[in-house]
Amino acid sequence: IHGLVRSLIQNMVIGVSKGFVKQLEIQGVGFKATMANKKITLNLGYSHEIVYPVPDSIVVTLEDGGTKIKIEGPDKQLVGKVASEIRSFYPPEPYKGKGVRYSDEQVKRKEGKTVQ
């Protein structure tokens, strides 16, 4: 077996034996996450809290007072989907660098306007 089917089967085997992990970091003043009843509540500087229901096969743990999110599960695709959906609520912005980012992500920073 080779190609797509092989890699899908390999990901299933690795998922059951080891599992897959994605880590997110929340950066910004007052930005944090809390967890209750398989729901993540995100405070990301908006006027409202964002409540994200976690799928059944995914395990989410919060570290560092809610500024680091660890997403674990056997399904590689679902782990990536959950991580990208949480990141999409406030992607890292290039000027101040605040937002939700992957722990291994490098955010390209920009300079602000210069006042003349």
10 Å Cβ neighbour count for 50?
Answer: 14
% residues pLDDT > 70 (the chain):
100
At 110, the amino acid letter reads K
Report the predicted TM-score, pTM, of the whole model to 2 decimal places: 0.88
Contact 26, 69 (CB under 8 A): yes
pLDDT score, position 24: 93
Instruction: Give me the sign of the Cα torsion angle 87, 90, 95, 96.
Output: negative
Using the predicted structure, report yes or no on whether residue 107 has a pLDDT greater than 90: no
Q: Give the C-alpha separation, 72 to 98, whole Å.
A: 24
Q: To which H or E segment does residue 78 belong?
A: helix 76-88
DSSP 30: T
Q: pLDDT-derived band of residue 13, with 50, 70 and 90 as boundaries?
A: very high
At 30, the amino acid letter reads G
Asked if the 4-102 domain carries CATH number 3.90.930.12, the reply is yes
Collapsed DSSP state (helix, strand, coil) of residue 53: strand
Task: Give pLDDT tens digits for 54-88.
Answer: 999 999 999 888 889 999 999 999 999 999 999 99
